[in-house]
Homo-oligomer: A and B are copies of this chain.
């Protein structure tokens, strides 16, 4: 019997992944770049137990048993067992496994829960099966962006060239401590309506958007290089401008999709206006927004600007009375009292809460298992 438990982080892309060249292998049409967020505030946690007494593979997600037959899950399991038989613990890889995974944050629209989940699953399985070396390309087969959650700091997912997908993997650009001032505010929008899933939206974009091809060929390659340089040089304004432009272009491509895939709502757009107004008032770019396939905003900013921006967010989006208590979560925030004038009418209760976090490390092993010794969830 062997049991391992790990936590793995969420990552938020600043150059977006949108469009696959191979649906089965999950090979992207372009490189992407993300920051890995601290597991202190948001993480997936997974226990994998391998035992001779188990008669079948089983999985529990957020307390509920799910089908192990999920094809993406099967691909990850199969890939790792094969790796283990070649270069790891072939005996354990032959055993059946019980998997139990939980997220400590809502699996809501656009919070990258599948990235953290698959990164954690693959990282933990690799430990159990004694597989060393890169596992990002295995995580990729669970959920494309999961490959970026295998590393801490700022991470690049290389699209790769091989048909096999072996070279479509993630590498670290800089570690988490390279840019210690970087902070992230995640603005969780209320009533996030279930829209098009990112998998099907992406597929439809590839099939129908004439702008997607242009983005991939002509825009993203230049942006990836400029973004890498901005990160290496800790050039916040360049980093922020490219981040915003790439988020906007990704959503533009979604809108150019037929029928359109719409992920931003009026609250998202009010956040966008607020950020541009604040930057204009400061006379320099102090904050960047980025949005995944959902209305929740992710703001990148430096530590020194958190008090003012947090206060502005609370001013424009005052919480409902019952949500005032824990409106700010994660790293403690002391909102500023003096604020620049902003021309944006307040909208009560439109943002449910704000998570204040920072760039963090990749997956790591922990001690408290989610499965008891009999292989059942605790």
Contacts and interface: CB of A to CB of B under 8 A. Distances in A.
B269 A262 contact: yes
Nearest to A219: B210
A210 to B, nearest CB: 5
A269 to B, nearest CB: 5
Number of identical protomers: 2
A248 interface: yes
Given A219-B210, A266-B265, A252 B256 contact: yes
A210 B242 CA distance: 13
Contacts of A256: 211, 245, 248-249, 252
A202 B272 CA distance: 19
Interface in A202-259: 210-211, 214-215, 218-219, 241, 244-245, 248-249, 251-253, 255-259
A260 interface: yes
Contact of A255 (B210, B214, B241, B248): B248
Contacts of A210: 214-215, 218-219, 249
Given A211-B211, A265-B266, A266-B266, A251 B255 contact: yes
A276 interface: yes
Interface centre among A245, A249, A256, A266 (most CB of B within 10 A): A256
26 contacts: A210-B214, A210-B215, A210-B249, A211-B211, A211-B214, A211-B249, A211-B252, A211-B256, A214-B218, A241-B258, A245-B256, A248-B255, A248-B257, A248-B258, A249-B255, A251-B255, A252-B252, A252-B256, A255-B255, A259-B272, A259-B276, A260-B272, A262-B269, A262-B272, A265-B269, A266-B266
Interface of A: 210-211, 214-215, 218-219, 241, 244-245, 248-249, 251-253, 255-260, 262, 265-266, 269, 272, 276
